[in-house]
Structure 1
């Protein structure tokens, strides 16, 4: 499983890894954060996003749901790391994620038996897992529509995933649940917009320099 080279702007450090705060639950009238989330994009994402978004300021990107949708559905690999701040069981995590995905699909009228089977596989992958603080859940979202799930007890990235689920709707829904319109991590969304805005400007400058570079001709 390859790591993607574009990293979001850091907000929180956990065992040497920095991420924005992510998903949480309201307990006793208080919102408690259970996870910190980092989203990575492969290098080809810049070329894919530049045509539509290179001229937009970071604040524009942060406020435009179409920008995040272009990331979720873009023809490039995405990588998501969900790091635990508090202990959580695999069943607790997978049930909540599955609930969000099913609600979204049913509201959009796109739920089929294939999605139901994919969710069952997703929950099965987490069934025996327990996540202490500092451990991570790693998702690789392939442009082909496959979702690779891996688990790490520290900041390392395993070479091989624990499960691969071939279902585009689920592959996209996992990332959509984080950075989509009703995403669980506004901090991750904002960090992603800021970092991508910076990189798109650098990418645009590099392309301009390439065009302006004189071409030598020999007789």
Structure 2
């Protein structure tokens, strides 16, 4: 099984959870400060090949068109297929910084859709607590696993010298917005990732 590089991080072209999932999107989260690119994380998006069955109306569109259309990414998020996000740390930070970033991005999206209630707040607090005690060394791995049939996600964290830790998020609204943080088109945290996903799916849809 081959692998693809994201910056200097190797990503397997396929992983197997309950079934094989293909690497369809990859990129970086980064910021530019005084013309310097600071890279934080590598991102790999794995999806079931069956995702194509749910994107029929986009057939024949090029990746350059798809990346401009947030409705295309809405359809990816709502497709009832298994999804797996693999985030690899490039720049060391405290886990609490990542947790706060995730919390604020998800909360803003929930508030904008009028879905931010007590249950969502509680679910987000648990996620923040999960990351609070972690330290993101270089090459640490965070994963989000979204099963096809359920509206939950399992978050896992692995760093050198320590065992894997996991938590489950069972609030469907929070789960949806975590997906949108990474797959939300023009508002996604990594524009290189959504561009790569649109290009790859555009290729498959034009076959």
TM-score by length of 2: 0.81
Which residue in the other structure is 1:217 paired with? none
Q: Secondary structure at the match of 2:79?
A: coil
CA shift digits 1:75-124 (9 cap, x unpaired): 11111111111112211101111011111211222211111111011112
Which residue in the other structure is 1:172 paired with? 176
Which residue in the other structure is 1:36 paired with? 42
Q: Structure 1 residue runs of 4+, over 6 Å off?
A: none
Distance in 2 (alpha carbons) for counterparts of 1:107 and 1:93: 21
Greater Rg over alpha carbons, structure: 1
Closer/same/farther in 2, CA of residues 25 and 59 from structure 1, 3 Å limit: closer
Distance in 1 (alpha carbons) for counterparts of 2:49 and 2:125: 32
Q: How many residues align?
A: 189
Higher deviation after alignment, 92-101 or 136-145 = 136-145
Structure that is richer in strand per residue: 2
CA shift digits 1:14-47 (9 cap, x unpaired): 1x3384112x356678552211111111122121
Distance in 2 (alpha carbons) for counterparts of 1:129 and 1:28: 29
Which residue in the other structure is 1:90 paired with? 95
Higher deviation after alignment, 172-181 or 129-138 = 172-181
Say which of 155, 165, 176 aligns to 1:149: 155
Which residue in the other structure is 1:113 paired with? 118
Higher deviation after alignment, 27-36 or 89-98 = 27-36
* CA-based RMSD: 2.5
TM-score by length of 1: 0.77
CA contact (8 A) 2:96 2:131 kept: yes
CA contact (8 A) 1:20 1:191 kept: yes
CA contact (8 A) 1:147 1:170 kept: no
User: Could you tell me how far 1:134 is from its partner in structure 2?
Assistant: 1.2
Which residue in the other structure is 1:21 paired with? 28
CA contact (8 A) 2:61 2:205 kept: no
**1:129 matched to 2:123:** no
Which residue in the other structure is 2:19 paired with? none
User: Could you tell me how far 1:183 is from its partner in structure 2?
Assistant: 1.1
